[in-house]
Amino acid sequence: MLARTRARLTGYRPCAMDPAWAAGASLTTAGPVRREAMKTVWMGLVAWGALGLAAQAQARTCAYLYDDETFRGEVLEVQSGPKVPDIGSQWNDRVSSWKVERGCTLTVWHDTNFGGSSTTLREGHYPFMRERWNNSISSYHCMCSDAPGARGWPSSKKVAKFPSGP
């Protein structure tokens, strides 16, 4: 009871799960238990945060797709990972040039759900597409030999605006 009165005076609001508080211990004996519990919680949060940062650090950009020739206009950054059956309405039949990163391959299809004809491009810069592939890509698969995506990590898409012109 004395501990509860001190808690009201000091502003401390213990958790109902605190065993020392539930047993009616004083604030001084509950202190080490609370500190140890908080230490455990913080260590868990730090570990989860480190795992998240490690996953982000391992993400690998596989290719950049551009809506204009010679790498101009808007760009779609493609991460290595699972197949993408639909490039999306913003990019469908708009890609005119692309860069495939070192150690990666980009396979593209004319139609959604990997339909129609396909071609596979190895690492390199492709500033001009032959007429057959210019503005005609609807699905893709990009893989890098040393990327987490090669082991089934999810892919992601980002859009950024790059200035047009030389």
Instruction: Tell me the residue type at 145.
Output: S
What's the confidence (pLDDT) of residue 50? 46
Q: How confident is the model at residue 35 (pLDDT cuts 50, 70, 90)?
A: low
Weakest mean pLDDT among 70-79, 130-139, 153-162: 153-162
Q: What is the pLDDT of residues 112-128, one digit of tens each?
A: 999 999 999 999 999 98
Q: Does the predicted TM-score (pTM) go above 0.85?
A: no
What is the predicted pLDDT for the residue at 162? 39
Higher pLDDT, 128 or 64: 64
65-92 residue pLDDT tens: 999 999 999 999 999 998 999 999 999 9
Which residues make beta-bridge pairs with 68?
Answer: 72
Determine the Cα–Cα distance for residues 27 and 24; give it in Å rounded to an integer. Answer: 9
Domain ranges of the chain: 2-58, 61-161
> Looking at residue 146, what is its pLDDT?
76
Q: How buried is residue 25: exposed, middle or buried, by Cβ count under 10 Å (0-12/13-18/19+)?
A: middle
What CATH number is given for 61-161 in this structure?
2.60.20.10
pLDDT of the residue at 54: 42
Check the CA dihedral 57-63-67-68 and report its sign.
positive
Banded model confidence at residue 25, pLDDT cuts 50, 70, 90 = low
C-beta separation of 144 from 150 below 8 A: yes
Residue with tokens 């070192």: 102
Residue 9 has pLDDT above 50, yes or no: yes
Question: Is it the case that residue 26 has pLDDT exceeding 70?
Answer: no
CA distance 87 to 84: 7
For residues 42 and 35, give the distance between their C-alpha atoms in angstroms, rounded to a whole number.
Answer: 10
Supply the pLDDT for residue 163.
43
Mean pLDDT across the chain: 74
